[in-house]
Homo-oligomer: A and B are copies of this chain.
Amino acid sequence: MNPNALHKLSYGVYVVCSRKGDKINGQIANTVIQVTSEPPALAVSINKSNLTHEYIKESGVFTASALCQDTPLSFIGNFGFKSGRDINKFEGINYKIGKTEAPVVTDYTVAYMEVKVTKEVDVGTHTMFIGEVVDADILSDMICMTYDYYHQVKRGTTPKTAPSYIEEKKEVKS
């Protein structure tokens, strides 16, 4: 098995947000997909150790903002490589409170979706949250960032908690 084959899967780059009471948090995710068209439903795979996981579990809602190609690495780093347990990730960030009362990040956002979770699937280290899209809009005509672009052009990296993380030693071996 060549684990690098999994790097050939294509994704976008999203900020996935949720809330727990008055508290809000968000994180970077790449595994956002539409699973049915009627009604429109999304799925996302979130690491159980992440604070956003706890918030989605609690509130049963999440939002996903599809980021544009020009999103700076520092913006992705703020949501993707830091924990909402240590810092307030929304400081200096533009967002709105959506229909689900969860935050929707609007900076560098091409389009967003708000989701009410209807199913949780335990997939080991992660939970797949599946739910109905209750609101969605396009905010700009910018090009969406793909996960490949993030790696190849932006030279971004992948945290250990991501579904698509592959250990460096495995990469060398294959």
A residues whose Cβ falls under 8 Å from a Cβ of B? 1-12, 31-41, 43, 45, 66, 110-113, 119, 121, 123-126, 128, 130, 133-138, 144, 146-148, 162-166
Contact = CB atoms under 8 A, between A and B. Distances in A.
Contacts of A36: 45, 123-126, 163
Given A9-B34, A119-B121, A125-B36, A138 B1 contact: no
A133 B111 CA distance: 31
B37 A164 contact: yes
A91 to B, nearest CB: 26
The 8 closest A-B pairs by CB, nearest first: A10-B12, A8-B111, A5-B136, A5-B111, A35-B45, A37-B165, A31-B33, A8-B66
A144 to B, nearest CB: 6
A56 B100 CA distance: 35
Nearest to A109: B8
B128 A35 contact: yes
A162 B33 CA distance: 12
Contacts of A136: 1-3, 5-6
Given A2-B138, A133-B1, A137-B1, A33 B8 contact: no
B33 A11 contact: yes
A66 B12 contact: no
A65 to B, nearest CB: 10
Given A2-B136, A37-B125, A11 B8 contact: no
